[in-house]
Amino acid sequence: METAKILDGKALAAKIQQELADTITASQPKIGRPPGLAVLMVGDNPASAAYVKNKEKACAKVGIASFGRHFPTQTSQSELEAVIEELNQDERVDGILVQLPLPKHLDAISLLHKIAPDKDADGLHPVNLGRLVRDEPGLRSCTPAGVMRLLEEYKIPLMGKQAVVVGRSILVGKPMALMLLAANATVTIAHSRTQDLKTITQNADILVAAAGIPGLITAEMVKPGAVVVDVGINRVTDSNGKSRLIGDIDFTTIADVAEYITPVPGGIGPMTVAILLQNTVFSYLQTNSN
């Protein structure tokens, strides 16, 4: 039995970053400043801190200025709203992102609504989700846009194919389904409460697992020759107390069934960051195109 080909998100992310660096080098003399991204983090969640550090490192690599701010856990909603308002007005900032999850006392949704839609680097503002629904140009949710870009890179045909998305979050599942639909796939959305999930996933030519449940998708749930994209990032600790990252699929057994597969880590994670940078550069060029 052949093993599935790997969809290498890490390599493609590096290629996208190089293209963005070249774009910035060419545009900066005309615009007179580099693109700017502000990542706001509240509290001291170690996973969030690692993600933020990653994003800032990636920014530095391509030539995006970081205007990130780190706030203590007890920061109030109104303080954060004031900071977002300030960043909305700041001409050096093209993208604003609030790192989730936030401490319990804060309302993430209303903070997100405060971000100017054209600076919404995460592509999650209702205006940008509306543009996605209407198939209009705009900032796209980073993770699903990263999945689409990876499928495109490997020339995986989507037109007329059966696509199944497992997961229905506003972060991944719903925008993912809309993007696949825009590419003329026939899309089914399943989730943790779907009855007989196996029957549904077995029909998928393209299967996207984004439920946040470790090992949810097993080999017998996958159609032979399918393309399996794992969006899950779950930290699990083994009996020796060692922690590692795994996805929503059982990688080893599915690799014997699928034609293409994404690894965790090294698959969709790096693509999410690459699209975040791409969104920031998109805003930068849009703002300065007049």
- Note whether 84 and 37 are same-domain residues: yes
C-alpha distances (whole Å) from 227 to each of 151, 154, 191 are: 9, 11, 19
95 within domain boundaries: yes
Segment 270-284 shows an average pLDDT of 97
Contact 7, 150 (CB under 8 A): yes
Please determine, for residue 1, whether its predicted confidence score (pLDDT) is greater than 70.
no
Is 216 a member of any domain? yes
Decide if 48 is inside a domain: yes
The active-site residue, picked from 122, 205, 230, 248, is 122
| 130 marked as part of a ligand binding site | no
The reply to whether 60 falls in a domain is yes
- Ligand-binding annotation for 169, yes or no, is yes
CATH of residue 83: 3.40.50.10860
Selecting among 17, 55, 94, 248, the annotated active-site residue is 55
- Give the DSSP H/E element, type plus range, for residue 254: helix 251-254
pLDDT band at 244, cuts 50/70/90?
Answer: confident
The boundaries of the domain holding residue 44 are 32-116
What is the rounded CA–CA span in Å between residue 206 and residue 215? 18
Q: Is 167 annotated as a binding residue?
A: yes
End residue of a domain, out of 100, 116, 132: 116
Q: Are residues 149 and 214 in the same domain?
A: yes
Count of structural domains, the chain? 2
Q: Does residue 205 have a pLDDT over 80?
A: yes
pLDDT digits (tens, 9 = 90+) for 89-100: 999 999 999 999
For residue 113, give every residue at least 6 positions away whose Cβ sits within 8 Å of its Cβ, in sequence order, or none: 125, 126
Measured distance CA(288)–CA(31) in Å, rounded: 7
Percent of the chain at pLDDT exceeding 90: 90
**Whose CA is closest to 119, among 56, 217, 35?**
35
CA atoms within 13 A on the CB side of 67: 19
Report the 10 Å Cβ neighbour count for 207. 28
Contact call for residues 73 and 103 (beta carbons, < 8 A): yes
Cβ atoms 114, 85 nearer than 8 A: yes
Verify whether residue 77 is a known catalytic residue. no
Q: How far apart are CA 13 and CA 40, in angstroms?
A: 23
> Among all chains, which residue has been given the structure tokens 């696949």?
180
Does 130 map to a domain?
no
**Strand, helix or coil at 237?**
strand
Nearest CA-CA partner of 40 in 127, 145, 105, 121 = 121
Q: Does 168 count as an annotated binding residue? A: yes
Question: Can you give the CATH number for the domain in which 196 is found?
Answer: 3.40.50.720
> Do the Cβ atoms of 22 and 281 come closer than 8 Å?
no
Give the whole-angstrom CA distance, residue 83 versus residue 40: 9
Where b means 16+ CB within 10 Å and e means fewer, 82-94 reads ebbeebeeeeebb
- 266: CB partners within 8 A, 6+ apart: 8, 9, 10
Region of 202 please: left (phi>0), alpha (psi -120 to 50) or beta.
alpha
Residue listed under structure tokens 């993007």: 179
- Active-site option among 8, 17, 94, 99: 99
Give domain status of residue 40, yes or no.
yes
- Does residue 69 have a pLDDT over 70? yes
Is residue 241 scored above 90 in pLDDT?
no
pLDDT at 235: 84
Residues 260 and 171 in one domain: yes
Three-class secondary structure of residue 212 per DSSP? coil
Question: Could you read off the pLDDT of 155-170 as tens digits, one per residue?
Answer: 999 999 999 999 999 9
Active site residue 55: yes
Tokens representing 34 are 């580099």
